[in-house]
Amino acid sequence: MAFDAIETPFGKSDKIIGGAATYIAWCASNFTQPIKQISVVGGDFPQEELDALTARGVQMEGVQIKKDEKTFFWAGRYHMDMNTRDTLDTQLNVLGNFEPVVPDSYQDCEFLMLGNLVPAVQLSVINQLKNRPKLIVMDTMNFWMETCMEDLEKVIAKVDVLLVNDSEARQLSGQFSLVKAAQTIMEMGPKYLIIKKGEHGALLFHDNQVFFAPALPLEEVFDPTDAGDTFAGGFIGHLAKTKDISFENMKTAIIKGSAMASFCVEKFGTQRLREITNEDIQKRLNDFVQLVNFDIEVG
């Protein structure tokens, strides 16, 4: 949970509420409640933001509030293509020495979503859980591959589903072909790999199976920040709701994640995620069905 300041070719935000855990919680709460949040914020994080999430069924016992410190802050500027960006400022603040604590009331967790963060923190959460969750999903990024690969490999070995983007899949595997990259990464531990390709959709790999979900072509992409976290929130949210971790149901979960991500980019920050209704979501899911639906006779 963090503050972001975002510039795009189409506008500029003030310091707004961001962070992977924030987006995941806002998104997943459309599908399942309660959500048991683990994070850390400073004394500058608005209480009303925590209250708004609590009202959505997001429990806050695992969120540490360090009154005398400041919340993590990231500022970035997107290029014209909205796929590449420059980091303008990163202030670690409370994340500099974050030691997550899993409350006793979280021990019944069946579906664990590890948002993108330093691998040692992700590992600590896994290790604090007395019973292994039914499904552990992990997001990560290139920065950890470059700075703490050994830790990263330890976490990757313990999870069921890994989420990375296409360039990260190539970096992690040393393979250019995404099919070969997926094979290599699945040998590192995860039985499922999701490769996110932004506006080009997402691929789900498992054994020798592959599923592709497109991104919805949009007239305007206003702010792509945390679209990947929103995708993750929709994915884990659907799985936690249905408690079905089959490959078939993961396909549905990916379509739901893609639909949620398509909302996220329409406005700055979490704004769009806060205002959408279940009717909006159903309508958007129908757009996805229309987008890829075809009839073909295979003889």
Q: Smallest gap, in angstroms, from Cβ of residue 179 to its own copies? A: 5
218 lies in the binding site for its own copies (CB under 8 A): yes
Closest Cα partner for 243 from 134, 139, 163, 154? 134
- What's the angle, vertex CA 222, arms to CA 219 and CA 228, rounded to 5? 100
Number of residues that bind its own copies (CB under 8 A): 41
- Strands of the sheet containing 192-196, edge to edge, are 111-114, 135-139, 161-165, 192-196, 202-206, 209-213
**Site for its own copies contains 187 (CB under 8 A):** no
Query: Pick from 38, 94, 118, 255: which binds its own copies (CB under 8 A)?
Result: 255
Closest CB to its own copies among residues 91, 175 = 175
Count CB atoms within 10 A of the CB of residue 80: 9
In the numeric block, which tokens belong to residue 287? 């757009």
Cα separation of 156 and 162, whole Å? Answer: 7
Q: Does 252 bind its own copies (CB under 8 A)?
A: yes
Helices (H), the chain: 20-28, 47-55, 119-128, 142-147, 149-156, 166-173, 178-186, 227-242, 247-264, 271-275, 278-292
Is the distance from CB of 89 to CB of 15 less than 8 angstroms? no
Minimum distance between the CB of residue 84 and its own copies, rounded to whole angstroms?
Answer: 14
Q: Which of 212, 241, 266, 271: binder of its own copies (CB under 8 A)?
A: 212
Q: Which is nearer to its own copies, 44 or 211 (CB)?
A: 211
Binding to its own copies (CB under 8 A): which residues in 45-104? 80-81
Q: Does 219 bind its own copies (CB under 8 A)?
A: yes
Stretch 165-184: interaction string toward its own copies, x if CB under 8 A: -----------xxxxx----
Stretch that binds its own copies, among 43-51, 124-132, 152-160, 284-292 (CB under 8 A): 284-292
Query: Measured from the CB atom, is 9 or 34 closer to its own copies?
Result: 9
Of 196, 197, 206, 272, the residue at the interface with its own copies (CB under 8 A) is 197
Query: How far, in Å, CA of 25 to CA of 37, rounded?
Result: 8
Distance CA(263)–CA(271), nearest Å, equals 10
Least Cβ distance, residue 32 to its own copies (angstroms): 16
Query: With respect to its own copies, which residue has the nearer C-beta, 83 or 124?
Result: 83
Using CB under 8 A as the binding rule, whether residue 272 contacts its own copies is answered as no
Neighbours of 186 (CB within 10 A): 17
Q: Which residues bind its own copies (CB under 8 A)?
A: 80-81, 176-180, 197, 200-201, 203, 209-214, 217-221, 248, 251-252, 255-256, 282, 285-286, 288-296, 298-299
